[in-house]
């Protein structure tokens, strides 16, 4: 029997369960979880107990200070990093220095200095870093890639991309560590890394210059007042206005939040339910970005975090026509046991508008489960079949992880200074990722004569 690939995971919050259960159970034929690590002893004990109860297995647990000892004692091949964003670089680099490969959640990291550290450590150690961009794997997004690769709209010249976070999921970023840039890089890094990665991958290119503006106008003390909330407390738990506030998160009876967060706060003071209207928040809730890409494409992008529906609308404008794609996602709050990014069929469509001919819709490739079916396919690819050839080249390494955050990092600089930012000035020694070939631009165009 072949030796199983040995994994350890650091960061045992909401996102870790998907990886843990896949390694411990779904892909147990080829994978094994040898250790878990977290700074919170409550969440560490909880996950170990859940593995025992659900799968009748024992896994060793280590506190964050013992990360090096964990690697030396349990000898994992690969470390899965699912801590908060600002700590990714620390674990990615240390794992590689200790001889491990890495699978990291997005964003790979939150700023240029940390990004450079990862690039330098990867080069020095030669280890592999996979960044888990699940959206690339979801069938409707892979279909968009397929259509663009087919040349149906010719060479792409510009893109209009607008992402909506609704008042359930959007608000959730203003309750915990994501609400401060020092932890998450703000939504242009934490969230938009997905979106900017999709565009890099869809177009097969990388960003060159970025100009942005950003504001927080909704999640503010003034909005609380306009909702009639006179004295909102610092957090929902125990807040005198809880009964009156639709944004209140009751961890006592919302999914698995009580055991995962409320019961564990005594160990480290991590509150999952801070007030979304707090003056201590420093991330934006409305952002607009203009990006020029190396292949000449221009993009206008917006992200709003207080919308009545969740999802996005994107249009690719090409020399042969326009492709429009809309995805509407279901309501989700991390840890409430709902499925993140599940697609609403009626709100998801793709339409081609060719020049000179009538427009038509395409049958959207179906995807079910987390992130439009992307989570399941991603896990299979990352954990068991990362060497299988893929027409769309969906596997993302440290280069894709870096390029995906650098649009947001540049946008953050631009918001501060009011000036455009050149992405290549942010880090050095970063190559373009490998992309699937796009159609060439010198094929003749044809016109249909007469009225259409």
Ligand X SMILES: NC(=O)c1ccc[n+]([C@@H]2O[C@H](COP(=O)([O-])OP(=O)(O)OC[C@H]3O[C@@H](n4cnc5c(N)ncnc54)[C@H](O)[C@@H]3O)[C@@H](O)[C@H]2O)c1
Q: Which stretch binds ligand X (CB under 6 A): 37-45, 54-62, 296-304, 382-390?
A: 37-45
Q: Taking the complex as a whole, how short is the minimal distance between the CB of residue 358 and ligand X, in angstroms?
A: 37
Round to whole Å and give the CA distance between 252 and 9.
Answer: 27
Candidate residues 5, 6, 15, 326; the one interacting with ligand X per rule CB under 6 A: 15
Q: Residue 362 is inside which H or E element, if any?
A: strand 360-362
C-beta closer to ligand X: residue 334 or 348 = 334
Q: How far apart are CA 306 and CA 167, in angstroms?
A: 5
Site for ligand X in 366-395 (CB under 6 A): 371
12 touches ligand X by CB under 6 A: yes
Residue least distant from ligand X (Cβ) = 13
- Name the CA radius of gyration of the chain, rounded: 22
| DSSP notation for 25-53 | IITTTTEEEEEEEES-HHHHHHHHHHHHH
Work out which of 8, 9, 13, 95 binds ligand X, going by CB under 6 A: 13
- Between CA 95 and CA 9 the distance in angstroms is 11
Q: Is 134 in the site for ligand X (CB under 6 A)?
A: yes
Nearer to ligand X, 187 or 299 (CB): 187
Q: Binding to ligand X by residue 118, rule CB under 6 A?
A: no
Q: Which is nearer to ligand X, 20 or 216 (CB)?
A: 20
d(CA 188, CA 283): 9
Residue 113: Cβ within 10 Å count = 12
Can you name the residues that pair with 315 across neighbouring β-strands?
Answer: 160, 324
Chain residues 187-206 in contact with ligand X, contact rule CB under 6 A: 190
Q: Which of 82, 109, 288, 381 forms a contact with ligand X (CB under 6 A)?
A: 82
7, 8, 9, 10: residue in contact with ligand X (rule CB under 6 A): 10
* Near ligand X in 246-285, by CB under 6 A: none
**Nearer Cβ to ligand X, position 14 or 186?**
14
Phi, psi of 308 (to 5 degrees): -80, -15
**Which lies closer to ligand X via its Cβ, residue 154 or residue 341?**
341
The burial class, CB within 10 Å (0-12 / 13-18 / 19+), for 58 is exposed
**Minimum CB–partner distance for residue 252 and ligand X (Å):** 17
Cβ closer to ligand X: 82 or 205?
82
Residues in 316-345 that interact with ligand X by CB under 6 A = 334
What is the DSSP code string of 374-443? HHHHHHHHHHT-TTS--TT-----HHHHHHHHHHHHHHHHHHHHSS-EEGGGT-SS-PPPP-PPPPPTTS
Judged by CB under 6 A, which of 7, 36, 38, 285 binds ligand X?
38
Q: Which of 235, 188, 239, 184 is nearest to 211 (CA)?
A: 188
Angle between helices 112-125 and 398-417 (to 10 degrees): 160
Backbone angles phi, psi at 265, to 5 degrees: -70, -25
Our CB check for ligand X shows the closer of 74 and 82 to be: 82
Binding mask of the shown chain, residues 61 to 80, with x at each position contacting ligand X by CB under 6 A: ---x----------------
CB of 292 to ligand X, least distance (A): 27
Q: How many chain residues are in contact with ligand X, going by CB under 6 A? A: 24
Evaluated on CA atoms 39, 45, 48, 53, the torsion sign reads negative
Reported as type and span, the H/E element at residue 20 is helix 16-21
Terminal-residue alpha carbon distance, the chain = 64
* Min separation Cβ 275 and ligand X, Å: 17
Interface with ligand X by CB under 6 A: which range of 12-20, 71-79, 137-145, 358-366?
12-20
Of 78, 83, 109, 404, which one interacts with ligand X (CB under 6 A)?
83
Comparing CB distances to ligand X, the nearer of 105 and 273 is 105
N residues, the chain = 452
Nearer to ligand X, 24 or 44 (CB): 44
114 touching ligand X, by CB under 6 A: no
Q: Contact at 8 Å (CB) between 202 and 400?
A: no
By the rule CB under 6 A, 89 interacts with ligand X: no
* Binding region for ligand X (CB under 6 A): 10-16, 38-40, 43, 64, 82-85, 87, 105-106, 132, 134, 190, 334, 371
């Amino acid at each position: 029997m072949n030796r199983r690939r040995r994994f350890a995971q650091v960061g045992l919050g909401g996102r870790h369960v998907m990886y843990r259960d896949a390694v411990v159970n779904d892909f147990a034929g080829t994978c094994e979880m040898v250790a878990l690590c977290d700074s919170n002893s409550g969440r560490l004990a909880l996950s170990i107990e859940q593995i025992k109860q659900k799968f009748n297995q024992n896994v060793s647990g280590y506190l964050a200070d013992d990360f090096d000892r964990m690697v030396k004692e349990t000898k994992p091949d690969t470390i899965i990093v699912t801590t908060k964003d600002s700590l990714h670089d620390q674990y990615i680099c240390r794992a590689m220095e200790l001889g491990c490969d890495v699978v990291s959640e997005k964003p790979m990291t939150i700023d240029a200095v940390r990004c450079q550290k990862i690039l330098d450590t990867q080069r020095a150690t030669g280890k592999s870093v996979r960044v888990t961009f699940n959206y690339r794997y979801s069938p409707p997004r892979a279909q968009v890639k397929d259509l663009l690769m087919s040349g149906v709209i010719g060479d792409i010249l510009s893109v209009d991309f607008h992402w909506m976070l609704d008042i359930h999921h959007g608000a959730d970023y203003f309750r915990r560590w994501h609400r401060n840039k020092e932890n998450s890089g703000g939504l242009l890094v934490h969230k938009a890394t997905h979106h900017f990665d999709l565009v890099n991958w869809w177009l097969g290119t990388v960003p060159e210059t970025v100009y942005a503006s950003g504001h927080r106008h909704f999640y503010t003390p003034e909005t609380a007042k306009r909702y009639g909330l006179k004295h909102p407390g610092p957090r929902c738990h125990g807040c005198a206005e809880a009964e009156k506030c639709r944004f209140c998160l009751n961890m006592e009876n919302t999914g698995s939040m009580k055991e995962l967060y409320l019961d564990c706060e005594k160990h480290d003071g991590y509150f999952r339910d801070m007030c979304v209207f707090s003056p201590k928040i420093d991330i934006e809730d409305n952002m607009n970005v203009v990006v020029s890409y190396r292949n000449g494409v221009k993009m206008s992008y917006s992200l709003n975090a207080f919308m009545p529906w969740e999802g996005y609308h994107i249009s690719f404008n090409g020399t042969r026509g326009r492709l429009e794609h809309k995805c509407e996602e279901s309501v989700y709050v991390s840890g409430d046991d709902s499925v993140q990014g599940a697609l609403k069929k009626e709100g998801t469509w793709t339409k081609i508008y060719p020049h000179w001919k009538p427009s038509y819709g395409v049958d959207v490739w179906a995807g079910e489960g987390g992130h439009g079916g992307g989570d399941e396919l991603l896990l299979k690819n990352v954990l068991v079949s990362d060497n299988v050839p893929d027409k769309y080249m969906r596997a993302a390494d440290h280069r894709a992880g870096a390029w995906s955050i650098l649009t947001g990092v540049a946008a953050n600089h631009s918001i501060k200074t009011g000036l455009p930012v050149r992405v290549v000035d942010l880090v050095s020694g970063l190559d373009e990722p490998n992309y699937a070939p796009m159609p060439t631009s010198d094929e003749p165009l044809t016109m249909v004569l007469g009225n259409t």
